[in-house]
Structure 1
Amino acid sequence: MSVTAHSEFVLVDRPRPHVALITLNRPERMNSMAFDVMLPLREVLRQITDDNDVRAVVLTGAGAGFSSGADHKSAGAVPNVAGLTRPGFGLRTMEILDEVILGLRRLHQPVIAAVNGAAIGGGLCLALACDIRVASPDAYFRAAGINNGLTASELGLSYLLPRAIGTSRAFELMLTGRDVDAPEAERIGLVSRLVPAQDLIGECVTMGERIAGFSRPGVELTKRTLWSGLDAGSLESHMQAEGLGQLYVRLLTANFEEAVAARAQGRAPKFTDDK
């Protein structure tokens, strides 16, 4: 079993023939979506989609979390932003994260999310961008943007979540910001099944191996037609509108800073509509 470290924060393993296991490897930060993690993940996805030996992919997180979303303390360095204003910087960072979500969707190979713990905010978006989600009993999910004084719409969430669980449930989860535990996630169809924590990766790899045993064009075309059947419009254009709305709230109010400060101080945030 060989492991290639594309960075210290993204590991790629080949546990079985034709199955790639991608592990977000920043457990001390709950595999948050810092750019030190997302940039190498974007590159890994670009490489795997062109690797014709890989027929199925499993995505998981190291330690106790799948991904806790935005990293409010250590976001990492963003390349090619010298000379940009704050709005320009925001657009560049949004583009990188959008490319990760779209990269998962565009992979030729089916992707199975092995959700081992928290999938919060952008981490929930990562899971939803995968084709299949399998969870351990430790998993939980949260559309966290609304809790942070922002919109809950980010990285395709308002497009993908209603398609996964229906509109009423999606509205509720995105507008209340409440947690969904693993049993509820299975009940509402957010995940396809629950697996004991110690068996999660093995079960997902076995599923990937089963998929890899079928016709390659049959599998690829099934993935494409499933998604095209769900797409009422363009995910990419929807994500642009979503991202601009998030940037508007982020840049024109101090609500995000208030949410971070309130969390650090152990109090409820007090949101306002301006700086």
Structure 2
Amino acid sequence: MRALPTPATHTVQSHKTLRTDRRGPLLSIELNTPDQGNTVTETLLDELLAVLDQQAPDIRVIVLSGAGADFCLGGDRSEYAEQLAHDPDGSGVRISGAKARRVCEALSANPAVTIARVQGKAIGAGLALALACDLRVAAETATFRLPELALGLPTAWGGLLPRLLNEVGAARVRELVLTCRSFDAQEARALSILQRVVPEQDLDAAVHAWAAPVIRRSPTALRVTKQLFHAYSSATRLADITALDAELMASVLLEREHAPTADGRRTGLYG
């Protein structure tokens, strides 16, 4: 395996929820709140957007990973409850949902090749972040789940559903969404959610095996190829209504928050 070239630029930055490490044309972005399962919060979305919006034009590979035992345990549900408490009309949820869509689009439409490095659990929004990447490798012990329906929520975060339909197929996606069951890395690979499954200790080597040849490619050819992939992928989605994800999520959360139970009491956001 050829080694990556010695970087002319090496910078490491720590943010509130992220850690970034740039080595020449390779940028590593690590979700870095392992004590919280790297859950997706408003702060994390803001920091991801800032990093991706400000990435250097010579970055050719971006690696998205999670610190600790799990890649990402999904969205922070307590934050949704706080947003509704402060904004009963759901505007906070809508703003958060719009940011989620922008983050996932910034990964999928990025001029660099994006690689998801997954270990442990990738749940809900965590799976959406991984799926927005071009290449996805997971440890053989990794597990995945789409729990939204079991939580009384729609599968409407970051454009997850059309990406799943495009990559996996409607029949199999329908079963995963409606049952909310967990599935392992081998099944995720069979579904094309992953391209590779390796022992956890080999994750970095698998990422390196993808990154090394990409970094040697012509920057112009790489950028145009990424644009072609993104354009053709979008075209196959037919009517892509992901712009409505934030509105759908806010509407369902508001209804759930205010719906009375059989005894006349309100259920609250999560029961």
* TM-score between both structures, scaled by the size of structure 2: 0.84
Cα distance change on mapping 1:57 and 1:233 into 2, 3 Å? same
Equivalent residue for 1:183? 186
Matched, 1:31 2:34: no
Map 1:102-181; keep pairs closer than 5 Å: 102-181=105-184
Equivalent residue for 1:11? 19
Equivalent residue for 2:200? 197
Tell me the secondary structure at the aligned position of residue 144 of structure 1.
Answer: coil
Tell me the secondary structure at the aligned position of residue 232 of structure 1.
Answer: helix
Instruction: Name the CA distance, whole Å, in 2 between partners of 1:13 and 1:236.
Output: 37
Instruction: Name the CA distance, whole Å, in 2 between partners of 1:31 and 1:70.
Output: 9
Matching residue's letter, 1:132: L
How far has the Cα of 1:72 moved from its partner? 2.4
The answer to whether the 8 Å contact 2:128/2:160 transfers is yes
How far has the Cα of 1:36 moved from its partner? 2.2
Cα distance change on mapping 1:93 and 1:74 into 2, 3 Å? closer
Cα distance change on mapping 1:205 and 1:236 into 2, 3 Å? farther
Tell me the secondary structure at the aligned position of residue 20 of structure 1.
Answer: strand
Tell me the secondary structure at the aligned position of residue 158 of structure 1.
Answer: helix
Instruction: Name the CA distance, whole Å, in 1 between partners of 2:11 and 2:244.
Output: 41
Equivalent residue for 2:7? none
Instruction: Name the CA distance, whole Å, in 2 between partners of 1:175 and 1:252.
Output: 20
Structure 1 runs (4+) deviating above 4 angstroms are: 74-78, 233-237
Which residue, out of 49, 53, 65, partners 2:58? Answer: 53
Instruction: Name the CA distance, whole Å, in 2 between partners of 1:23 and 1:46.
Output: 16
Which residue, out of 52, 59, 67, partners 1:62? Answer: 67
Cα distance change on mapping 1:234 and 1:54 into 2, 3 Å? same
Equivalent residue for 2:48? 41
Instruction: Name the CA distance, whole Å, in 2 between partners of 1:87 and 1:30.
Output: 26
Matching residue's letter, 1:207: W
Matching residue's letter, 1:155: G
Instruction: Name the CA distance, whole Å, in 1 between partners of 2:185 and 2:98.
Output: 31
Matching residue's letter, 2:125: G
Equivalent residue for 2:221? 218
What per-residue deviation string (whole Å, max 9, x for no partner) do you get for residues 88-126 of structure 1? 222212122222112112321010001112111111111
The answer to whether the 8 Å contact 1:18/1:209 transfers is no
Cα distance change on mapping 1:76 and 1:200 into 2, 3 Å? farther
Tell me the secondary structure at the aligned position of residue 253 of structure 1.
Answer: helix
How far has the Cα of 1:205 moved from its partner? 3.1
Cα distance change on mapping 1:76 and 1:47 into 2, 3 Å? farther
Q: Percent identity?
A: 30
Tell me the secondary structure at the aligned position of residue 226 of structure 1.
Answer: helix
